[in-house]
Amino acid sequence: MKSTEKWGAFVLSAAVLLSAPGYANAAGTQAGSTLPRPSWTSASVYDTSSASAHEIRFVKSRGLVYVHTVQNVKKNSSKTSYDWHLETVTAFDAATGAQKWSRTFHEKAGPYTIASSILYAGDGTVYFTGTFSDKTQQVYALKPDGKSAWTRSVAYGSDIYLLGDESLLVASRQGPDKAGGVKTSLVRFDAAGKTLASKNLAGSVLAAEGGRIVIDASRLVKHGTAWDRSPSPSIEVYTPELKRVYGYKFPASVNLLGDGGGPSILVQKDNTVIFRGSVAGTVNKLFALSPQGRLLWGRTIPADSVIASTGSGYVTYSKRQLTAFDLEGKRAECTLSDKPGQIVILEHSDDGELQIDMADTLYVLDPDKLDILQAVSNRPLHAEYAFSYAGGILYAAENGSLVKYALNGSDAPTE
C-alpha cells in the first residue's frame, strides 16, 4: 500500500504476544522468512520508465485486487506549479491474476491530475477524487465491474471521507475571513450519489470516520501572513446524519497540533473519540471523550510515539516498544529486536490486522494480542513499495506487474 495523497513510501508497524497477569509481555521477534515463489504474475500494468504503482488494495467481498498507478506527464503550460499526472485504477481477479477492467481518469485534451485520493468501499465500489491542473475537482464513483456509477464536481480543495456506513462525506471549506473565521459546507451522499444530508457549519473538519465527524469550531490564528489552527480548539462532534452530539473546549495548556506520528484523532467503534495532544509543552497525552462527550481519561505516552486505532482501543510504538491498549488499560506489549526503517507508520492490513515494515522484515500481527501472524523478508518489496496483505496472501507491484504470494502455502482467502 501507499498513501494516495502523499505518494510516498511508508513503513508500517507491529509486534509479539507476551503472557503475564493483566496483559501480555515478552521480547524479541522472529526472523523474516523468504517470500515463496509467486502464485501468479499478471500481465504488465504500467511502463516502469514513466509510471509507478502507488497503492494496491484487496477487496475480499469481490475477490478483486485494485492497483492504482501514476504516470508523470510533461507539462505543456506554465499556469500551474504542480507536477502533472495520468492516473489509472486497474482491477484484477485475485484468484487468477486476470485483468477485469481498467479506468484512466483523464479526458482527451482535458486537464491532468495534480493530486488525488482514493476510497474503497467494502462492496468493491471505488471513489476516486481527482484534483486537476485547471483548478477543478471531480469525484468518480466506479462500480466493482468498473462501470461508472456517477461523477460529481465538488469545490476545489474539498476533502472526501468514507464514513462507517460507507456513505461519502464531502467537506468544502471557505475562508478564513479577516477575523480567522472559516465555514465548511458538508454534503453526505449514498453509494448511488443521492444526497442524504447537507449542512453549513462554522469551523473545519478535523476527522470523519466511523460514526463521528469532528469539527474544529475555533477561529484560525494568524502568524505573520499565514493562518494556523488554534492549538487548543473548541471542538464539536456530529453524527453521519449531521446532527450535533456535543461540544468540548480543551484547556489552553493542551496543544492538539501534534507530535510524533499517526493520526491525531482516533474514532472508536463505540464512538468514543481519542485526541492526541501535548500538555504545557512537557508531556504527550491521549484524551478520551465518551460517545456523549464526557472526558474519560488522559494517558501519558512517549513524545515520539506513533499511534493507531484498533477500533476498541489503540496501539503505540516508540523506540522498538509496541504496546496495545483498550479503553480500560494496557493489554499487551513487546520489544522489537529488528531496527525500524526511516519512517514508522502504524497501518491496518486489508483484513484488519496490523502491519509493520521494519528494516528487513514485514510483520503482520494481531492488533489486540500482538501475536505475530506473518514475518517475511521485505527486501523484494523495496523496489516498488506498493503492496497489500490479507489473510495469508501478499500482493505486490514488481517490474510493472502485480504479483501474488501465498504465504505459508495458503491460497484460501482469494477464493
Q: By the 8 A CB rule, do 127 and 118 touch?
A: yes
Check if the beta carbon of residue 362 is closer than 8 Å to that of residue 405: no
What is the structure's pLDDT at 217?
Answer: 95
pLDDT for the residue 225: 87
Quick check: 308 and 270 in contact, CB under 8 A? no
Hey, what amino acid is at 82? Y
pLDDT, one tens digit for every residue, the chain (415 residues): 444 333 333 333 333 322 233 333 333 345 678 999 999 999 999 999 999 999 999 999 999 999 999 999 998 877 788 999 999 999 999 999 999 999 999 999 899 999 999 999 999 999 999 999 999 999 999 999 999 999 999 999 999 999 999 999 999 999 899 999 999 999 999 999 999 999 999 999 999 999 999 999 999 999 888 999 888 999 999 999 999 999 999 999 999 987 678 899 999 999 999 999 999 878 999 999 999 999 999 999 999 999 999 999 999 999 888 899 999 999 999 887 788 888 887 799 999 999 988 888 888 999 999 998 998 888 888 888 899 999 999 999 999 999 999 997 555 444 4
CATH number at residue 95: 2.130.10.10
The per-type count for the chain, helices as H runs and strands as E runs, is: 0, 36
- The owner of cell 484560525 is 220
pLDDT number for residue 14? 31
b/e per residue, 353-363, with b = 16+ CB within 10 A? bbbbbbeebbb
Tell me whether residue 45 is in a domain: yes
Give me 256's grid cell. 492538539
Residue 79 lies in a domain: yes
* Residue 6 is assigned to a structural domain of this protein: no
Amino acid at 323: T
Q: Map residue 55 onto helix, strand or coil.
A: strand
- Between CA 103 and CA 89 the distance in angstroms is 5
Distances (CA, A) of 238 to 228, 242, 328: 23, 5, 25
CB 382 within 8 A of CB 50: no
Sign of CA dihedral 380, 382, 388, 390: positive
Domain holding 53, by residue range, is 24-409
What pLDDT is attached to residue 139?
97
CB atoms within 10 A of CB 324: 26
**What's the distance, CA 386 to chain centroid?**
14
Q: Give domain status of residue 64, yes or no.
A: yes
Measured distance CA(394)–CA(279) in Å, rounded: 41
Answer yes or no: is 12 within a domain: no
Residue 366 in grid coordinates: 494481531
- Would residue 7 count as lying in a domain? no
Predicted TM-score of the model (pTM): 0.89
Give percent helix, percent strand, percent coil of the chain, each to the nearest 5. 5, 50, 45
Does residue 2 belong to any structural domain of this protein? no
Q: How many domains does the chain have?
A: 1
Cell numbers 461508472 correspond to 148
Which grid coordinates belong to 23?
A: 496483559
- Find the length of the chain: 415
Q: Is residue 14 part of a domain?
A: no
Q: Using CA atoms, how far apart are residues 215 and 234, in angstroms rounded to an integer?
A: 8
